Amino acid sequence: MAPTHRRPPAALVAAAVCCASAASIPLIYLVVRVAGAGPDSVLATLTRPRLLELLRNSLVLSLSVTLAAVLIGVPTAWMLARVRLRGIRVWAAIAAIPLAVPSYVAAYGWLAAFPSMSGFWAAWFVLTLVGVPYVVLPTVAALNAASADRDDVARTLGRGPLGAFLVGTLPQIRPAVLAGALLVCLYTLSDFGGLALFRFPVLTTAIFRAYSTSFDRDYAAVLSSVLILVALAVVVVEQWMRRRAHGVATGSGRVGRVSPGRLAPIAGAWLLAVPVLAAGVPAIALIVRWVQADQTQAVDPRRFLDAVLATATLAGAGAVVALLLALPIGVLSARWHGRTVQTIDALGTLPLGVPGIVVGLSLVFASLALVPQWYQSIGVLSFAYGVLFVPKAIGGVRSAIDQVPTGLEEVARTLGSGRVAVWRRVTAPLAAPGIAGAALLVAVTAMKELPATLLLRPTGTNTLATELWSHTEVNAYGSAAPYALALLVAAAIPALLLSRVGARDDAPLIRDGVAS
């Protein structure tokens, strides 16, 4: 979409700067740590031969996972948005289930079934499975808002279905696909649990080892800074590609669904494959361990219920914080361009490339220095979730605003409405489903967050993720199973809500090019 005004409102810019500054607390912490380490220590770290291997592994894995997630996610989104399937909302909810699976749970499930799995390909396989929904969800929303008019024109000019999609629909949904790909890439760069279990050395595993074993925070800070620079490069590339994708308007006509005909079983198998491999295999592996475990690994019902309640409460609070931080940045980057906007957008997006332990330590540092009475409080932990996952919210908000035709806003302004009134009466109602989807995406992701939760949780507070980790850490896999299954069920609730945002079953049916 083209920007509606040449200059953004000063109030919006100021709000976006404040939100980006809040999201940049981990970066400020790293700058302080690296500056305190001294140039000699920094140079010694940067010249270690091991650094090049870690950097190469991180880049190759992130790019490979991102490419695979896009190649799987876009066809999946097309089926959910454009194919007439029975129970489409159920299919959409199933497609979102892998969002609830922590990488270390998925890795453990596959290791339980195939103990020899390790290295790059194992890590690539599992991270691709849990990363696909990040592409599917925004792409489904974009497909629902896109027009099939260009596809129809391309078909009349002799192009086949795939060619018509590439020249007609793909340019319209490209910003959403790029937003999803960015999330997958940054998620892979910052992941630790699955990579540690598969013994694949990357920057995050080295950072965690430095923090947890040698307590060399200066070395870990330098490695984290390298990771941040890589994430920054990824964000800059995504911004460049997104700018080239701007200017494609969506249509207002209803888009029909294609009848799958005899291919319905194949479509169903495709939609089931990723959820079964990502969630089904780990769940079955944990249930088997639970059945085989001795009775001494019984679960305390009160502790279990407390973990469920804490998980839901903290995830909801984190989603609210992330949405408040993301709204000004997402609106600004969706409607205006320029270096200032790009800088603000990059600062808001970078935290997803920061390991959770770095975010946790940065907020420990900030809370003790500024508001010591808030240390290890629910407020600080909720803010940590907001900082960690604000990039996900920004991507969702930006995609939602992008899909609102600027022409409607211009008409409202010519009728005498101010910017606030236009937002309240036109933009916000049309973008509300996408913005709600962004908040739900944050909530699902926050449910499985682990490192920052371990550092910042109030004393005596446990979530499903921390309980699961503590039980698997002491090899009590039997008693870990209920927490893993509860985490999947808890995340299925916002996943179902996400399906209501992204999936529509009221589109006309198309047979042989004719809507019915």
20 domain residue, yes or no: no
Identify the H or E element spanning 510.
strand 509-511
What is the tens place of the pLDDT at every residue in 472-499?
665 566 666 777 778 777 766 766 676 5
What pLDDT, on a 0 to 100 scale, did the predictor assign at position 511? 38
Residue 273 clears pLDDT 90, i.e. is over it: yes
Residues 6+ apart with CB under 8 A from 12: 328, 331, 332
Which 8-state DSSP code applies to residue 251? P
160 domain residue, yes or no: yes
217 domain residue, yes or no: yes
Per-residue b or e along 185-209, where b marks 16 or more CB atoms closer than 10 Å to that residue's CB: bbbbbbbbbbbbbbebbbbbbbbbb
- pLDDT level of residue 155 (50, 70, 90 thresholds): low
Q: How far apart are CA 379 and CA 357, in angstroms?
A: 18
CATH of the domain at 481: 1.10.3720.10
- pLDDT level of residue 286 (50, 70, 90 thresholds): confident
264 domain residue, yes or no: no
Residue 504 clears pLDDT 90, i.e. is over it: no
190 domain residue, yes or no: yes
- Beta-strand relationship, 509-511 and 257-258: parallel
Q: Domain residues for 374?
A: 28-249+270-502
> Mutual orientation of helices 103-113 and 464-473 as an angle, nearest 10°?
40
What pLDDT, on a 0 to 100 scale, did the predictor assign at position 200? 92
151 domain residue, yes or no: yes
User: How many domains does one find in the chain?
Assistant: 1
Q: Tokens for 391? A: 């990039």
Strand order of the β-sheet with 514-515 is 257-258, 509-511, 514-515
What pLDDT, on a 0 to 100 scale, did the predictor assign at position 132? 94
Q: What is the pTM of this model?
A: 0.76
What pLDDT, on a 0 to 100 scale, did the predictor assign at position 499? 58
Which 8-state DSSP code applies to residue 259? P
What is the tens place of the pLDDT at every residue in 166-210?
776 777 788 888 888 988 998 898 888 788 888 899 988 888 777
467 domain residue, yes or no: yes
187 domain residue, yes or no: yes
